[in-house]
Amino acid sequence: MKALIPLEIIERRILLIRGHKVMLSTHLAELYEVETRVLNQAVKRNISRFPEDFMFQLNTSETEQLVSQIVIPHKKYFGGSLPYAFTEQGVAMLSSVLNSERAINVNIEIMRAFIRLRRILASHAELARKLDALEKKYDAQFKIVFDAIRELMKTPETKRRPIGFLVEEPHVPYKSSRGVKGRKGR
């Protein structure tokens, strides 16, 4: 069965905010093909279904951080109000609030993305535990091997290129009315 929305698109929308894996109300509205204000109104009408561990509103500094990390293009993206962040349980609750066929199908895809992400993280943790056990079992002669494996397990850091242009020109002394500047004895 073909997925309604590719898993990669959903996974890119899952963010880590306040130590929780969440999806923003604007991203969810796009996936459900509803306006963000419609989604927010449905949530506000059913606010008792969304305790703090299901949904929370971002503050100004969190919103500015999302802009600086290029997760969102600019603060206007949220339409003048601070966005809501929905945890996995909050997203699941949304399908009952947005009572449409698309909301149900999109929620199924989102739940699959959360499960896949959880499995990846669990397998990574399991691999780290097994590596620790092996390292304790064998002596220092394998330390180089274990260090190399740990290095491979690290998530790669993205290097930011400097902003602007760097022009490399050969050093050419410039002339002044008194001759070549920078030379002594002339």
Model pLDDT for residues 73-113, shown as the tens digit of each residue: 656 666 667 889 999 889 888 877 887 788 777 878 888 88
Tell whether 183 is covered by a domain: no
CB 3 within 8 A of CB 116: no
Are both 39 and 82 inside the same structural domain? yes
Buried b (16+ CB within 10 A) or exposed e, 125-148: eeeeeeeeeebeeeeeeeeeeeee
Are both 142 and 94 inside the same structural domain? no
Model pLDDT for residues 23-51, shown as the tens digit of each residue: 898 889 888 888 888 888 999 999 999 99
Angstrom distance (rounded) from CA 123 to CA 129: 10
pTM of the model: 0.58
* Contact partners, residue 11, CB within 8 Å, separation at least 6: 113, 116, 117
Tell whether 62 is covered by a domain: yes
Residue 18 in tokens: 């306040």
Tell whether 163 is covered by a domain: no
Number of folded domains that form the chain: 2
* Contact partners, residue 33, CB within 8 Å, separation at least 6: 102
Q: What is the span of the domain harbouring residue 102?
A: 7-119
Are both 83 and 142 inside the same structural domain? no
- State residue 8's pLDDT score: 80
Are both 137 and 113 inside the same structural domain? no
Half-sphere exposure of residue 176, counting CA atoms within 13 Å on the CB side? Answer: 6
CB 136 within 8 A of CB 146: no
Q: Are strands 20-24 and 84-86 parallel, antiparallel or unpaired?
A: antiparallel
Block residue for tokens 């963010």: 15
Confidence category of residue 14, pLDDT binned at 50, 70, 90: confident
